[in-house]
Structure formats: structure tokens, C-alpha cells
Amino acid sequence: MKVLITGGGTGGHIYPAIAIANKIQSGMKDSQILFVGTKRGLESDLVPKAGYQLKTITVSGFRRKISLDTVKSVGELFKGLQEAASIIKSFKPDIVIGTGGYVCGPVVFVASLMNIKTMIHEQNVIPGVTNKILSKFVNKILISFEESSRYFSNSSKLVTTGNPVRKEFIDFDREVFRNELGIAEDKIVVTSFGGSRGAEKINEVMLDVMKRFNDRKEIIFYHITGEKHYDQMMEKFKNMALSHSANLNILPYVHDMPKLMGASDLIISRSGAITLAEITAMGLPSILIPSPHVTNNHQEHNGRVLEKNGAAVLLLEKDLNDKNIVDLLHLFIRDRQRLVEMSVRSKALAKENATELIYASILKLINE
């Protein structure tokens, strides 16, 4: 089976694509997989590192106001359509799968015009503009949240699968991870981060939070700054007369996130779709701070699903300060059963078999 997968721009589109590819490859040893992305997106780095071939096309997003950039985008769209057609004709895929981002538009659209079976996967509650347009042309639409169904007109195409996550976030041993990190069972471990690149506002607030809990015996902090913010954070840390003590840990980046998250009792983070899939797969309570800088405010809508189900507390960035985080942490320290209840509700939202459901949908569509 030949599978063409297209998605790009951000890790939220690329990591699900790689997870899907890995599942296809393990399920069908003779499968051939080709990725199509752009040179500028993260896919140009992540896809080859995952061991897959990547072809690139020309594409860019449209600005809302008419300008020279809009004219340029139209020109790039036509060029991208031609490049996509050339790749598809050469590769001759049995199915084309789009996981979001502007690059999906021309690739999936051209494939549908060529009567090749097509499928898109939407990670967020509110679909991106590309997937909303493509939904009219594709054979199947895979969604990660039941709440997304209202945004697509053809319900017969919809399959709720969830977001695929690495097996390390599903099969883990909390006790083993805590032992490896030297964490006693009676400690509350808080891991906080603002995405792979970090978030300045979260960094600033968590610095003040950690100052309030310096040398407290019952709680341990691991805060991940993002590499570009680390030096500045450490300078502020030292200026506040703090140091790495038994309960304060500041890190630029963590390569083994399943271990750190698996050893944690509470996550403080953004509410990107893949992060939430990982949090719920591990059954972790969370304080969610949606990024206000994303299209359609989709992180808030993602986070509201967990909040509504009692698995998370959601704080908008405009309301974020050290006091409301500290108040919540004091609440959890006094009433640890609250964390246990949130953990159970988080786990109930997990779709651990998302990758298997996606794979089954691919095979079903191929055989129809």
C-alpha cells in the first residue's frame, strides 16, 4: 500500500502524522510512505529525523486583507497545486491523508480531483480553515473531540478517533519513574511548561510561584523554560536569591517528557491538542493556560473540554498571576483527594486507542 501523508507548520500537525505513519509501517511491512510538506515548516526537520522521505511544495497562508502578500499567496497556491499534482502522479498513492496546516490544502484537494481516496485528521475542537474547506472534498474526516462534529456539515464522513500519542505516554510505571528521579511518594510533583519553545508569561509567573514555595518540603517543582528563555530565567532566578534546592528545578528542555510527566501529580501548561492527549493518556490533573495567540482561539476551546469534565482548571493568560496559581496549589496540598478525583476524570477522557482507530479507518477506506 502506498500512503501519502501531508501536514505541517507546527508540531501539533506533524507529530500525529508521524504517529500515523509509524502505525501503518508496523501494521503493513510492505507499505510505502511519503510525506509532503514545506521547506519552512518544522516538518523539514522532524519528518527526516523520524526516518521518512519528505517532498516539499510551495504554499503560504492568506492574509485577511488584500495586499501584495495576498497576490503572492495566490501565485504560490497555483504553483503548489502544480507541484502537488506532479508528486501525486509520480508516487501514485492508494490514499492521501492530511493532518492540518496550509500544505494540506493543495495536496489533498488535487488528490480528491484525481479520484484518490482522501482523509483528514483534525486535532483541535475547532477545525482549522484548511480542514474546513477540505472536508467538502475528502472521503473521511477523523476528529479528536466529539465537540468538533458541529463544525462539519456531512456527519456521514465523521469518525471520532482522538489524537494519537506515543506509547510511552500510555504504558508507563509512575512508581518506577519516581524512583529513578529520587522522588518520595509523599511529595506533590508539579511540572510546568509553555510548549516546546516556552512561554514568557508562564515563565515569569512560575518564577514568582516557585519563590513562594522555596524550600517547602511537601512540593517539588520542575519548570521547563524553553531553550531560548533559559539563560534569562536563570539570571532572574539568581537575582531573586534563589538556587536549585531540593524542591526547585528549572530546565531548558526535557527530552524524556513521558518520564517527567509520568512522575508528576499536576501539570501546568498550554492546552494544545497533543499536550492534552498526552495529559489525559497519563490520567494527570492540570492547570491549563491557553495561548491567546492561536487561530480561532482553539487552545481555549480544547481546554474547556477538560475543565467541563472536571479534569482541569483553566486560567486565561490575561487573568494569570502567581496568586491564583499559589492559591490552587495550596488547595491541592490541603486536599490531595481533589487531585485524585481530577486524575480519574482526566483518564476517563483519554482515547488510548486513537492510533488503532485511525489505522482501522484507513484500512476500511482503502477496502471500500
> Distance from CA of residue 67 to its chain's centroid?
32
pLDDT for 64: 44
Q: 162 labelled as ligand-binding?
A: no
Average pLDDT (80-94) is: 96
Average pLDDT (166-179) is: 94
Residue 212 reports pLDDT greater than 70: yes
- C-alpha to C-alpha distances, 80 to 73, 107, 111, 279, 317, nearest whole angstrom: 10, 8, 13, 36, 37
pTM for this prediction: 0.88
Q: From 231, 218, 17, select the one nearest 120 (Cα to Cα).
A: 17
Average pLDDT (221-250) is: 83
Cell 482548571, residue located: 313
pLDDT per residue as tens digits for the range 29-73? 899 999 999 998 889 999 999 999 999 999 865 444 444 454 455
Quick one: cell of 335? 486536599
pLDDT per residue as tens digits for the range 67-80? 445 445 566 778 88
Reduced to 3 states (helix: H, G, I; strand: E, B; else coil), residue 224 is strand
Nearest-angstrom CA–CA distance, 92 and 102: 22
Q: 178 labelled as ligand-binding?
A: no
Cell 495567540, residue located: 293
C-alpha angle with apex 316: 196 to 300, nearest 5 degrees? 70
Q: Which of residues 239 and 174 earns the better pLDDT score?
A: 174
Q: 166 labelled as ligand-binding?
A: yes
Binning pLDDT at 50, 70 and 90, where does residue 321 land?
very high
The domains located in the chain, with CATH, are 2-163+352-367 (3.40.50.2000), 168-349 (3.40.50.2000)
Average pLDDT (183-212) is: 91
250: DSSP letter: E
